Amino acid sequence: MFLINCPFCGEREQSEFKAGGEAHIVRPKQPTELSDDEWAEYLFMRKNIKGVQFERWNHIHGCRKWFNMVRDTSNDQIKAVYKMGEKPPVK
C-alpha cells in the first residue's frame, strides 16, 4: 500500500486516496469545433505505460483535493507529487 505525500496534507495511507486516471489531459475549450476523431481522442484515448506514468489522484477521504503524481508503474515508485496546474517536476 502506497504512502502518498498529498501536496496539501503530507504523507497519508493510500486508502485515503482515489486514483483518477491519466494526468495532463485538458478538456478542449471549444468542443464544438472538434471533429469526431479529435473529440474521441480526448474522450477515450489513455496511455497505459509500463514505466513512468503521469496520473491524477484525489485525496478523497482527506482534503478532497485533486493533484498529480508521477509513478513508475513497473515498481510502484512514486517519483513526485505536485498540485494541479503545476508543471511536472520530473520527466
Q: Contact residues for other proteins (CB under 8 A)?
A: 1-3, 13, 18, 20, 26-27, 30-32, 34, 36, 39-40, 43, 56, 58, 60, 64-66, 75-76, 84-85
Nearer to other proteins, 53 or 58 (CB): 58
For the record, the C-alpha cell of 60 comes out as 478523497
Least distance from other proteins to the Cβ atom of residue 91, Å? 22
Strands 66-72 and 77-83: what pairing? antiparallel
For residue 28, give the DSSP letter. P
Residue 91 CB contacts under 8 Å (≥ 6 apart), including other chains = 52
Nearer to other proteins, 31 or 89 (CB): 31
Tell me the one-letter amino acid at 60. Answer: I
Least distance from other proteins to the Cβ atom of residue 10, Å? 13
